[in-house]
A and B are shown apart, each in its own frame.
Chain A
Amino acid sequence: MTAKHMKTLLLSATLLSSASMAHAEDVTLTVESWRNDDLSIWQDTIIPAFEAKHPGIKVKFTPSAPAEYNAVLNSKLEAGSAGDLITCRPFDASLALYDKGYLASLADLEGIKNFSDVAKSAWITDDGANPFCVPMASVIHGFIYNKAAFESLGIAVPQTEDEFFAALDKIKEDGNYIPMAMGTNDQWEAATMGYQNIGPNYWKGEEGRKALIAGTQKLTDDQWVAPYRTLAKWKDYLGDGFEAQTYPDSQNLFTLGRAAVYPAGSWEISGFNTQADFEMGAFIPPVKAAGDPCYISDHTDIAIGMNAKTSHPDETRTFLNWVASPEFATLYANALPGFFPLSSEPVTLEDPLAQEFISWRQKCEPTIRSTYQILSRGTPNLENETWNASANVIRGTESPEDAAKRLQDGLASWYEPQK
């Protein structure tokens, strides 16, 4: 009696759960992601757009918390219960998944041709033969400035380093604004928005970054020390007590209109748009002399790949090809201004500040942060050391040369090509 009851219950439960899959012939793809902030964007914009074009394929976005994502994903992959589509962290975390055979190679995917080598660099084997994730978005570094402040002081947007420091001098002299909003309390801004922001102009973007990985350049070479010398000059233009100023402090100083320039990453755009009630502009990290070629940090941040054990490889590839298309790029970039599509296809953006940032791709050579690929695999970790060194240099407690030497010694202690 009870057993029969149980059976009925189980049966109806099974029926009910399969009923939610709408049509029997539909294939449902599941997306693993850490971007739970983007849940509504996927459900309201991205997935309907895809499903409208591809009847018969349903997509389900199932994000987990960012801090838990790597661990959750790993255990799901080991248990064989992970989704068909895997959102990829940049560099080593995803490379490890590929090496273990959890991510499929996408070398023969049609859409992957839409991406430049720099865009693919975060999700490719060290030999460059097998890309395993389709790049989705990157963040660009530069400086955001308060237009009203610049206009009232009659400052033109600086193109060269001399103009940049002349502008800061003028703001400082005037005294109404803190010239630049940055602190060294949290350390990472000094490296990410300082060193990695202005650095590519010195080490010539990809050329220097690749030479460092190959071991033909050293961190003690002039092109790697010079950005530290420039950073050391920033000290005089930061607010009072910048040593204890945190990242949110800097953001607030700028959006409250108390600071004129903000060394930025493009991810700030949507936050700043809601916080600041003045017009903002952005400029490229200034070059040494007018007319020099410019380089920008266009850092690859998020991508999506295919679970090697998916039971719907064809549909999954269809989705990945769509992610590689301009249509997806436009949808995603406009939903999240500041996260720029990596596709080489042109994309229309509506946000003026985001437009400014992305327009630099036409003028300048893009590169990624120098410490992210390969060079942060060992101990001491080059990226973390760079945070500390950049903060020290800005605070003036370590000379640029000493900092560079310390980083080089640390890197050489474990990285063969640099020995």
Chain B
Amino acid sequence: MSTPQTEKHPVRWHIAVFLAPAVIVYTTIMILPLFGTLQLSFFRQIDREAVFVGLDNFRTLLLDPRWSASFWNALGNNMWFFVVHMLVQNPIGILLAAILSSPRLRLAAFYRTAIFIPTILSFVIVGFGWKLILSPIWGVAPSLLDAVGLKVLFAPWLGKEEYALTTLSLISVWQFVGIPMMLIYAALLTIPDEIIEAAECDGITGMSQFWKVKLPLILPSIGIISVLTFVANFNAFDLIYSAQGALAGPNFATDILGTFLYRTFFGFQLQIGDPNMGSTIASIMFLIILAGVCFYLFVIQRRLRRYQF
């Protein structure tokens, strides 16, 4: 073009135009509600008037004996929920991915699809389905165990305080194991054949090849999966609600932050909802998730070594 380059850059409208839809939509449906929630948590209804109370709601939640008992119970349960996912879901996901990526496995596409299908099922279907499977009255679990003579092992797992949460965590693991499997599978496929061949030339094969060559290469993916699991678990609500109801029985043994928030915010049965305390719980959940993600971003991710091929 013959026009000389001017000193000033022209205003680059197209950037704003292209960003606008995402910014507008994200702001209205995510950022504004987030700040609305934070704002609500600093107020309290006194005689039908919203009164600014500073951090008083947080003090109530964390220090009042009744509120704090429910809160720590929910947080503790949530931690266990997360621990089960980290210890069961992710290792199994990695294992499945490793098996699937083995070139000698036949019907790999079928297994991949079959294992991934529960992930796309609705929580309600999963909750009710498993509730029926495990039902002591009509369920297939007791009759199956009976058929192999192990009926003594059966217990009404969803109704016992000591097992209910673990049972639900494992159901959730069953549902979502497809996600780590897919991500790791994709990561394993990106490892170039040259590296594997080089390893073979050096005499590293079989299991030690997985531990010494492949695992270090997929560590960044495992990190991402851990963060996704963390966020999903601390936001979880649906499965507990559809299987155990809002009271998260038995005796609040399956109460996690999500169900605790729901009961408080919207109320339950004769309990009238308390949006202010509900928002306080939501804000704490936000802070917990924020802290977890920051820990990952600033502590873990920096130390992960990445390899360029």
Shortest CB-to-CB span from A402 to chain B, Å, is: 12
Q: Does A330 contact B (CB under 8 A)?
A: no
- With a CB–CB cut-off of 8 A, which chain B residues contact A240? 136-137, 156
- With a CB–CB cut-off of 8 A, which chain B residues contact A184? 159, 249-250
**Contacts of B217-253 to chain A: CB distance below 8 A:** 244-245, 247, 249-252
Q: Does A344 contact B (CB under 8 A)?
A: no
**Contacts of B106-151 to chain A: CB distance below 8 A:** 131, 134-138, 142
A249-B137 in contact (CB<8A): yes
A395-B271 in contact (CB<8A): no
- Alpha-carbon distance between A101 and B157 when the two chains are bound, in angstroms: 50
- With a CB–CB cut-off of 8 A, which chain B residues contact A410? 66
A244-B159 in contact (CB<8A): yes
Q: A249-B137, A384-B271, A410-B66 are in contact. Are A241 and B251 (CB under 8 A)?
A: no
Q: Does A74 contact B (CB under 8 A)?
A: no
- With a CB–CB cut-off of 8 A, which chain A residues contact B200? none
B250-A380 in contact (CB<8A): no
Q: A381-B271, A384-B270 are in contact. Are A244 and B134 (CB under 8 A)?
A: yes
B247-A187 in contact (CB<8A): yes
- Alpha-carbon distance between A246 and B161 when the two chains are bound, in angstroms: 16
**Contacts of A318-364 to chain B: CB distance below 8 A:** none
Q: Would you call the interface of chain A mostly helix, strand, loop, or mixed? A: loop
Choose from A91, A187, A249, A379 the contact partner of B135 (Cβ within 8 Å).
A249
Choose from B157, B245, B269, B271 the contact partner of A244 (Cβ within 8 Å).
B157
- Alpha-carbon distance between A188 and B269 when the two chains are bound, in angstroms: 10
A243-B160 in contact (CB<8A): yes
- With a CB–CB cut-off of 8 A, which chain A residues contact B161? 397
- With a CB–CB cut-off of 8 A, which chain A residues contact B136? 239-242, 244-245
- Alpha-carbon distance between A242 and B135 when the two chains are bound, in angstroms: 10
A243-B247 in contact (CB<8A): no
Q: Max chain B CB contacts within 10 Å: which of A244, A379, A380?
A: A244
- Alpha-carbon distance between A397 and B271 when the two chains are bound, in angstroms: 24
Shortest CB-to-CB span from A70 to chain B, Å, is: 10
**Contacts of A377-393 to chain B: CB distance below 8 A:** 379-381, 383-384, 387-388, 391-392
| A interface residue count range (under 10 / 10 to 19 / 20 to 34 / 35 or more) | 35 or more
A371-B137 in contact (CB<8A): no
Choose from B159, B244, B247 the contact partner of A241 (Cβ within 8 Å).
B159
Shortest CB-to-CB span from A340 to chain B, Å, is: 22
Q: Max chain B CB contacts within 10 Å: which of A253, A380, A384?
A: A384
Q: Mark A222-263, 1 if CB is under 8 A from B, else 0.
A: 000000000000000001111111100100010000000000
Choose from A243, A383, A384 the contact partner of B250 (Cβ within 8 Å).
A243
Q: A243-B156, A243-B159, A244-B136 are in contact. Are A387 and B247 (CB under 8 A)?
A: yes
Q: Does B189 contact A (CB under 8 A)?
A: no
- Alpha-carbon distance between A413 and B251 when the two chains are bound, in angstroms: 21
A244-B158 in contact (CB<8A): yes
Shortest CB-to-CB span from B65 to chain A, Å, is: 9
- With a CB–CB cut-off of 8 A, which chain B residues contact A383? 269-271
- Alpha-carbon distance between A410 and B69 when the two chains are bound, in angstroms: 13
Q: Does B155 contact A (CB under 8 A)?
A: yes
- With a CB–CB cut-off of 8 A, which chain B residues contact A384? 247, 268-271
Q: Does A186 contact B (CB under 8 A)?
A: yes
Q: Does A399 contact B (CB under 8 A)?
A: no
> Quick one: closest A residue to B247, CB to CB?
A187
- With a CB–CB cut-off of 8 A, which chain B residues contact A242? 136, 156, 159
- Alpha-carbon distance between A372 and B271 when the two chains are bound, in angstroms: 11
Number of A-B contacts (CB under 8 A): 97
- Alpha-carbon distance between A397 and B253 when the two chains are bound, in angstroms: 12
- With a CB–CB cut-off of 8 A, which chain A residues contact B269? 188, 381, 383-384, 387
- Alpha-carbon distance between A360 and B269 when the two chains are bound, in angstroms: 28
- Alpha-carbon distance between A242 and B156 when the two chains are bound, in angstroms: 8
- With a CB–CB cut-off of 8 A, which chain B residues contact A91? 270
| B interface residue count range (under 10 / 10 to 19 / 20 to 34 / 35 or more) | 20 to 34
> Quick one: closest B residue to A372, CB to CB?
B270
- With a CB–CB cut-off of 8 A, which chain A residues contact B137? 239-241, 245, 249, 253
> Quick one: closest B residue to A241, CB to CB?
B136
Q: Does A270 contact B (CB under 8 A)?
A: no
Choose from A246, A253, A371, A392 the contact partner of B251 (Cβ within 8 Å).
A392
A187-B249 in contact (CB<8A): yes
Shortest CB-to-CB span from A67 to chain B, Å, is: 11
A185-B270 in contact (CB<8A): no
Q: Does A376 contact B (CB under 8 A)?
A: yes
- With a CB–CB cut-off of 8 A, which chain A residues contact B138? 249
**Contacts of B267-307 to chain A: CB distance below 8 A:** 268-272, 274
> Quick one: closest A residue to B67, CB to CB?
A379
A388-B252 in contact (CB<8A): yes
B66-A380 in contact (CB<8A): yes
- With a CB–CB cut-off of 8 A, which chain B residues contact A398? 251
- With a CB–CB cut-off of 8 A, which chain A residues contact B251? 388, 391-392, 395, 397-398
Shortest CB-to-CB span from B277 to chain A, Å, is: 8
- With a CB–CB cut-off of 8 A, which chain B residues contact A388? 247, 249, 251-252
- With a CB–CB cut-off of 8 A, which chain A residues contact B245? 186-187
Shortest CB-to-CB span from A69 to chain B, Å, is: 15
Shortest CB-to-CB span from A212 to chain B, Å, is: 16
**Contacts of A189-241 to chain B: CB distance below 8 A:** 239-241
B250-A391 in contact (CB<8A): yes
**Residues of A at under 8 Å CB distance from B?**
91-92, 183-188, 239-246, 249, 253, 371-372, 376, 379-381, 383-384, 387-388, 391-392, 395, 397-398, 410, 413
- Going nearest first, the 4 A-B pairs with the smallest beta carbon separation are A241-B136, A243-B159, A244-B159, A244-B156
Could you pull out 24 A-B pairs where Cβ atoms are within 8 angstroms? A239-B137, A240-B137, A241-B154, A241-B159, A243-B158, A243-B159, A243-B160, A244-B134, A245-B135, A245-B136, A245-B156, A249-B137, A379-B66, A381-B270, A383-B270, A384-B268, A387-B247, A388-B249, A388-B251, A388-B252, A395-B251, A397-B161, A398-B251, A410-B66
Beyond A244-B157, A388-B251, list 15 extra A-B contacts (CB 8 Å): A91-B270, A185-B158, A186-B245, A187-B245, A244-B158, A244-B160, A245-B159, A249-B135, A376-B271, A380-B66, A383-B269, A383-B270, A387-B269, A388-B249, A397-B250
